[in-house]
């Protein structure tokens, strides 16, 4: 009787761990974390990277470190293990909610699944391009930097007085109009 193969465990490394590994230079695979994941734990641990890792790598100003980060992340994830992005998780959560509320409410998930697959491929492709030494588009880096700054600002605003901030967001949403209301007399 043969034993069952060991169960594979998903491993998510924080960006600072990836940075520690990448700073190992050409021998990054011999760093403490990488050696453990590629050696003793190779049969049970699967390293997964995320869009956040890729965004953080895009923002790395040191080209040598950016290249080493991308190369080591790609190698540890075997060039294929990419987690979904946050918006995909939100869409899937919303679809699951609708399905629980109304069993026939969602006709199919082909588009979100295709979007998720395509986005993962784009992130993996961007990682491969950085690993080969291609510099990221400066306009993309500028947009990502602006979005991160806005996100941090919003979290700081919300953190000062969360109840007041939520009330202001609700008030703004209540008064938000995406189109001009049609008057009853104009409808006929």
CA–CA dist 149, 166 (Å, integer) = 20
Q: Give the model's pLDDT for residue 19.
A: 94
Q: Give the model's pLDDT for residue 85.
A: 87
The answer to whether residue 12 scores a pLDDT higher than 90 is yes
Using pLDDT thresholds of 50, 70 and 90, give the confidence band for residue 139. confident
Phi, psi at residue 19, to the nearest 5°? -65, -40
Position with higher pLDDT, 11 vs 145: 11
Can you tell me the mean pLDDT for 105-111? 86
CB burial class (10 A; 0-12, 13-18, 19+) of residue 68?
Answer: buried
Q: Model's pTM, two decimal places?
A: 0.72
Using pLDDT thresholds of 50, 70 and 90, give the confidence band for residue 20. very high
CA–CA dist 160, 157 (Å, integer) = 6
Q: Give the model's pLDDT for residue 179.
A: 64
The answer to whether residue 75 scores a pLDDT higher than 80 is yes
Pick from 37, 42, 38, 43: which is nearest to 3 by CA?
A: 43
Using pLDDT thresholds of 50, 70 and 90, give the confidence band for residue 81. very high
Q: At what angle do helices 51-58 and 110-131 cross, to 10 degrees?
A: 40
Q: Give the model's pLDDT for residue 136.
A: 85
Q: Give the model's pLDDT for residue 8.
A: 85
CA–CA dist 33, 18 (Å, integer) = 9
Q: Which residue has the tokens 């190992």?
A: 24
Helix (H) and strand (E) counts for the chain? 9, 2
Using pLDDT thresholds of 50, 70 and 90, give the confidence band for residue 177. low
């Amino acid at each position: 009787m043969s034993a069952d193969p060991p169960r594979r465990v998903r491993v998510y490394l924080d960006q600072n761990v990836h940075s520690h590994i990448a700073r190992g230079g050409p021998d990054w695979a011999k760093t403490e974390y990488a050696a453990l994941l590629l050696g003793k734990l190779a049969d049970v641990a699967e390293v997964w990277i995320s869009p956040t890792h890729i965004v953080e790598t895009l923002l790395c100003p040191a080209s040598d470190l950016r290249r080493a980060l991308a190369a080591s992340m790609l190698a540890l994830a075997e060039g294929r293990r990419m987690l979904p992005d946050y918006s995909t998780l939100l869409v899937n959560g919303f679809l699951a909610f609708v399905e629980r509320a109304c069993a026939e409410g969602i006709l199919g998930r082909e588009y979100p699944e295709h979007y998720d697959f395509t986005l993962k491929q784009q992130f993996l492709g961007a990682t491969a391009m950085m690993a080969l030494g291609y510099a990221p588009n400066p306009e993309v880096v500028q947009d990502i930097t602006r979005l991160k700054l806005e996100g941090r600002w919003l979290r700081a605003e919300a953190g000062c007085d969360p109840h007041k901030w939520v009330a202001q967001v609700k008030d703004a949403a209540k008064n938000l109009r995406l189109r001009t209301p049609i008057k009853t007399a104009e409808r006929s």
